[in-house]
Amino acid sequence: MVTPVGLDTEASWTGLIKGKSGIGLITQFDDKSIPTQIAGEIHGFEPEKYIELKEIKKMDRFIHLAIAASQMAMDTSGLKITPDNADRVGVMVSAGMGGLPAIEKYHKLYLERGFRKITPFFIPMLIINEAAGVLSIRYGAKGPNISVVTACATGTHSIGEAFRTIERGDADAIIAGGTESCICPLAVGGFNAMKALSTRNDEPQRASRPFDKERDGFIMGEGSGIIVLEGLEFAEKRGARIYAEVIGYGASGDAYHITAPAPNGEGAARCMKMAIKDAGLSPLEMGYINAHGTSTKFGDELESIAIKAVFGVHAYKIPVSSTKSMTGHLLGAAGGVEAVISILALDRGLLPPTINLDNPDPECDLDYIPHIAREVQADVAMSNSFGFGGTNACLIFRRFRK
């Protein structure tokens, strides 16, 4: 992970468990006319630690973050891609919005100084699948190379589709997840225009407050979360350190509205039920849910309703948290980062909290692990992601046991 809470996996995890907020005043641009002046920025990130200096300027920041997170994942996994296995190792890493900052920058240069000021790397900087393309080239991975783009569900769908690809025998291992970095005037202004963002500028660290009655919108963030996913036989044969097992995946569509979730969270509920059925679980076996929990009024309410529709009275016994309370909403990277968080929660027996939950919304009445992380050795975790356009994705992980 690379997140607003930490520059690497361990720093991010430690910050999340301590309830650290990564939200602050925006430093990447200065436009006081936009009502929202806060975001979850990553401060101190040094792309030169992961990328040759001459290559850095050829990529937009969302690709830099993907390279960093993938390097952490590959180093941890110990996976070596060789000519013998290269065509069996794929990459499924994507973003929701991609190189929007590059579009802003070079459109401005074009208008001011003409066509010749457009860099020849402009198109590769902005297209979303270049994150996967660059990683494939970097590691020599010649298997399936696909970018699934589903707004805020991108990272979760990427891992889910990687799971399916390995399951059907088209690959042995896939580098999978999400990345995003578009804290720029067009994006922040655009989300403001649709009144989706918080304007709690005087209290940045308290602004992202999922399930709280005083929430007033989500906070944009940037980051990347990537895992190395392998078939069990392939992983065991090479002696891999296995953190968790993917056992279920669900994907559904609301067929309702371009931005609003379906009434009563119907699409989200179907998605969760699909994942549970795919995993062969009883709903009673669910031990933790990393909620989509964006800090929007209807999103949080309807996800809570959907969880109750799926799990019945057992919903009140399942610890649920939204780590977006600390990271902000990482858009296309959210599902990748939250998959890593869910996996580490199982592996380490610690469930991250929902911070800023001071005055719970009566419509949101589940156990959201308020304020303080909880020591619980859960065996099964679900990670939820829901995106504009009515796209839903759920992953279920199980603590690995031989």
Confidence at residue 288, expressed as pLDDT on a 0 to 100 scale: 98
Give the model confidence (pLDDT) of 99-134 as tens digits: 999 999 999 999 999 999 999 999 999 999 999 999
Confidence at residue 397, expressed as pLDDT on a 0 to 100 scale: 98
| Annotation marks residue 329 as catalytic | yes
Catalytic residue among 64, 184, 292, 394: 292
Confidence at residue 278, expressed as pLDDT on a 0 to 100 scale: 98
Chain centre to alpha carbon of residue 244: 18
| Annotation marks residue 394 as catalytic | no
Tokens representing 347?
């592996």
Give the model confidence (pLDDT) of 64-77 as tens digits: 999 999 999 999 99
Confidence at residue 299, expressed as pLDDT on a 0 to 100 scale: 97
Catalytic residue among 157, 271, 329, 394: 329
- What domains appear along the chain, each with residue ranges and CATH number? 9-237 (3.40.47.10), 244-399 (3.40.47.10)
Catalytic residue among 152, 182, 184, 364: 152
Confidence at residue 175, expressed as pLDDT on a 0 to 100 scale: 98
Confidence at residue 401, expressed as pLDDT on a 0 to 100 scale: 85
Confidence at residue 343, expressed as pLDDT on a 0 to 100 scale: 98
Kindly give the parts of the chain with pLDDT less than 50.
Answer: none
